[in-house]
Amino acid sequence: MMRRWALRIGLALLGLAVIYGVAAAQNLTSVFIPKRTLDEQVEMLRPGVRVFLPESVDEPVPAILFFHGCGGERPMHTAYAEAIAEAGFGALLVDSFAPRGIGRLGAMTQVCSATRLMGQERAADVFAALEIARETDGVDPERLVLAGWSHGGWTLLDAMSFVSEGVRPPALIDGDVSFDGVVRIVPIYPYCGFPARASGRIGPGLPPVEMVLAERDMVAPHADCERLAHRAIEAGVEMDYAVWEDVTHAFDDTDAPAIDPRMTYNPEAAARLRARLIQILGETQD
């Protein structure tokens, strides 16, 4: 009986490995990734973008674009956006999942397992969202900040690698791929290991980067991102990073599952991050 169960478990694990390998190969080689023009990508993504602005805007304000993690938009993103608007700045929440018909279950089982919508594919959303931000009334197109959590940080770093290499993400068949108007990029506990493509492929000429890493991160180990940062700095990239002590992955997620010790909400660290994002927006006015 035990041998039979062991065999079944072994076959199940082998099946999962095969599924993951096929999905990874499809993403890494861009096979089966939907291809769109930049204009088509913009129109696909537009319904998933929410804009938060101060109640009264006399002139365009600096704005930050949020790219959520693999679990999708969380209540914390809305709370951050509301605080940023109250501070006199703009925020655009970019939902990469709803326009693609990806629900919470699909996000957790497919995107979080890297079998669907890897960072290199989702990087197309970065350039589409920038187009939307640049045409949004009340947003200063010359003072944009990009912030990405976990999978969103992976997405931003891979987008940087495409710009460094002068190529488009595999999902785009045309369009300008640049960070025009972007003054800072902030990956927050990003995933930097395989199959992310950014490490060693980020070069000079990009906006300054500030990475926030978590010391107790067991989901996206900070050591991978430190190696990425060291290689980027050696290549001439203006990149800073800090490993925040005694915090886990998703330390700012108010809905972090209490039964999962890998993700523990830390209100002090969340408040620190919120204050830092607002400070970064303020620095764009100096």
105 and 10 within one domain: no
Residue range 122-140, pLDDT digits in tens: 999 999 999 999 999 999 9
Please tell me whether residues 55 and 12 are part of one structural domain. Answer: no
**Tell me, what's the pLDDT at 18?**
38
Are 11 and 54 found together in one domain? Answer: no
Tell me which residue range forms the domain holding 3.
1-31
The answer on 87 and 15 residing in a single domain is: no
Q: Are residues 88 and 194 in the same domain?
A: yes
Name the pLDDT band for 8 (thresholds 50, 70, 90).
very low
What are the pLDDT digits (tens) for 230-264? 999 999 999 999 999 999 999 999 988 776 889 99
pLDDT above 50 (res 17): no
Asked if residue 105 and residue 23 are part of one domain, the reply reads no
Residues 102, 9 share a domain: no
- Regarding whether 111 and 97 lie in a shared domain, the answer is yes
**What's the rounded mean pLDDT across residues 179-193?**
97
pTM here is 0.90
- The pLDDT mean for the chain works out to 90
SS (H, E, C) the chain: CHHHHHHHHHHHHHHHHHHHHHHHHHHHHCCCCCCECHHHHHHHHHHHEEEECCCCCCCCEEEEEEECECCECCHHHHHHHHHHHHCCCEEEEECCCHHHCCCHHHHHHHHCCCCCCCHHHHHHHHHHHHHHHHCCCCEEEEEEEEEEECHHHHHHHHHHHHHHHCCCCCCECCCCCCCCCEEEEEEECCCCCCCCCCCCCCCCCCCCEEEEEECCCCCCCHHHHHHHHHHHHHCCCCEEEEEECCCCCCCCCCCCCCCCCCCCCCHHHHHHHHHHHHHHHHHCCC
**Claim to verify: residue 12 and residue 46 sit in the same structural domain:** no
Q: 205 and 272 in one domain? A: yes
Task: Say yes or no: 66 and 25 in one domain.
Answer: no
Q: What is the pLDDT of residue 3?
A: 52
Higher-pLDDT residue of 138 and 285 is: 138
CATH number for position 115: 3.40.50.1820
Number of domains present in the structure of the chain = 2
Q: Please check the confidence at residue 187 and state whether its pLDDT lies above 50.
A: yes
Assign 57 a pLDDT band (cuts: 50, 70, 90). Answer: confident
Q: Is there a single domain that holds both residue 8 and residue 146?
A: no
